[in-house]
């Protein structure tokens, strides 16, 4: 029985992560899919809708195979903080994240949620390359 944490911010990310997980999960496992939005002026109605769609994609792809719980957080935290604290809260056995190539300027200006998770996680991770859309 394993507990997987799947942070996602788009339907495309969800599809990529589900492609990886579909052969790894069984009926005794639990997948926690989360979407984290900062909230306030930094989050639009479209951001909330896209997050909900991303979560629904995980539930529809993996729900017939295993238990899927979905959570959208809008509580003022940056996404990396939400992922790491929720991983601890549910005692996740593995965090499954998607990464994409970023140019050095993009990293410098905007940082990388995946990088902060990778550098600060205290549990096993699967890092899945994301296709560019």
Question: Could you tell me if 126 and 14 are in contact, meaning their C-beta atoms sit under 8 angstroms apart?
Answer: no
- The domain locations on the chain are 3-129
Condensed to tens digits (0 to 9), the pLDDT of residues 69-109 reads: 999 999 889 999 999 999 999 999 999 999 876 666 555 44
C-alpha distance from residue 43 to each of 26, 37, 39 (Å): 35, 6, 5
Condensed to tens digits (0 to 9), the pLDDT of residues 16-25 reads: 999 999 999 9
Q: For the whole model, what pTM was predicted?
A: 0.90
| pLDDT value of position 62 | 98
Q: Does domain 3-129 have CATH number 1.10.10.10?
A: no
DSSP structure string for 16-53: HHHHHHTTT--TT-EEEEEEEE--GGG--HHHHHHHHH
Among positive and negative, which fits the CA dihedral 87, 60, 97, 31? positive
Contacts of 30 (CB under 8 A, 6+ apart): 1, 2, 3, 4, 66, 67, 68, 69
């Amino acid at each position: 029985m394993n507990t997987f944490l799947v942070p996602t911010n788009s339907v495309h990310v969800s599809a990529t992560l589900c492609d990886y997980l579909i052969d790894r999960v069984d009926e005794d496992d639990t997948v926690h899919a989360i979407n984290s939005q900062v909230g306030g002026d930094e989050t639009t109605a479209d951001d909330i809708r896209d997050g909900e769609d991303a979560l629904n994609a995980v539930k529809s792809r993996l729900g017939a195979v295993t238990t899927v719980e979905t959570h959208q957080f809008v509580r003022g935290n940056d996404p990396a903080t939400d992922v790491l604290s929720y991983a601890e809260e549910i005692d996740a056995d593995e965090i499954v994240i998607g990464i994409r190539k970023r140019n050095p300027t993009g990293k410098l200006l905007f940082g990388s949620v995946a990088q902060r998770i990778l550098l600060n996680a205290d549990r096993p991770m699967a890092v899945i390359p994301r296709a560019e859309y």
